[in-house]
């Protein structure tokens, strides 16, 4: 089995330009108003380049989704490496909420496009759950977080926050919800945990 050849710099730039353009269009909620070929024009590349990298809308959406998941997982690792475990967890959860707010158009577009691609979504969800599991486990080890509540419960809370995005006052209330989650995770010696 041969290793993949590294991308030439111009090929990588073109691919990154297409992905950045797609993110912007997704965030603006304009993905479905554009012809697929318009992505090439907006990114400043030829249509052949678009189709070589992303032969379909779904392929482009999948690449954007993978990129977003990877960025969030990288952020979780960076926080774990630089902060105490409980602080890293809190910063990551607050960052996830910020990401949901800033990229609500992206989330809606990806949810629509990825609806039939459950394997891709499951893979991303699993990676994000691991990004939550690691700081939760580290905080349990250092005694700042309860051992009887797992990362799955934290992920459910995040899903609930995301699902309520259209609620009036959502952004103001999310800080309170994350505080509730963090308070619920906090170890309380008076409870014997």
Question: In the chain, what are the domain boundaries?
Answer: 7-55, 57-191
Q: What is the CATH number of domain 57-191?
A: 1.10.357.10
Note the residue count of the chain. Answer: 193
Asked whether residue 82 carries a pLDDT value surpassing 80, the answer given is yes
CATH 1.10.10.60 for the 7-55 domain, yes or no: yes
pLDDT for the residue numbered 51: 94
Q: Does residue 159 have a pLDDT over 50?
A: yes
Question: So what's the pLDDT on residue 191?
Answer: 43
44-74: pLDDT as tens digits? 999 999 999 999 888 888 898 889 899 999 9
| SS3 assignment, position 145 | strand
Name the more confident of 84 and 115. 84
Per the model's pLDDT, the better-predicted residue between 193 and 15 turns out to be 15
Residue 114 is predicted with a pLDDT of 66
Q: What is the mean pLDDT of residues 167-176?
A: 89
Q: How large a percentage of the chain has pLDDT more than 70? A: 91
pLDDT surpassing 80 at residue 109: no
Q: For residue 68, which of 102, 115, 32, 119 has the smallest C-alpha distance?
A: 102
Give yes or no for residue 193 having a pLDDT over 60.
Answer: no
- Classified as helix, coil or strand, 32 is helix
């Amino acid at each position: 089995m041969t290793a993949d050849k590294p991308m030439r710099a111009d090929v990588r730039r073109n691919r990154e330009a297409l992905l950045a353009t797609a993110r912007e269009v997704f965030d603006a909620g304009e993905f479905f108003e554009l012809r697929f070929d318009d992505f090439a024009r907006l990114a400043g590349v030829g249509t052949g380049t678009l189709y070589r990298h992303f032969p379909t809308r779904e392929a482009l959406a999948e690449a954007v989704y993978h990129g977003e998941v990877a960025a969030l997982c990288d952020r979780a690792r960076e926080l774990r490496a630089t902060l105490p475990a409980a602080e890293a967890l809190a910063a990551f959860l607050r960052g996830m909420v910020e990401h949901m707010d800033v990229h609500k158009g992206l989330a809606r577009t990806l949810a629509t496009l990825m609806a039939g691609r459950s394997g891709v979504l499951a893979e991303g969800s699993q990676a994000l759950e691991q990004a939550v599991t690691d700081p939760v486990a580290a905080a349990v080890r250092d005694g700042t977080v309860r051992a009887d509540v797992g990362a799955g419960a934290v992920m459910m809370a995040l899903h609930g926050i995301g699902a309520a995005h259209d609620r009036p006052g959502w952004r103001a209330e999310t800080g309170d919800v994350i505080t509730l989650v963090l308070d619920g995770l906090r170890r309380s010696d008076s409870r014997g945990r």
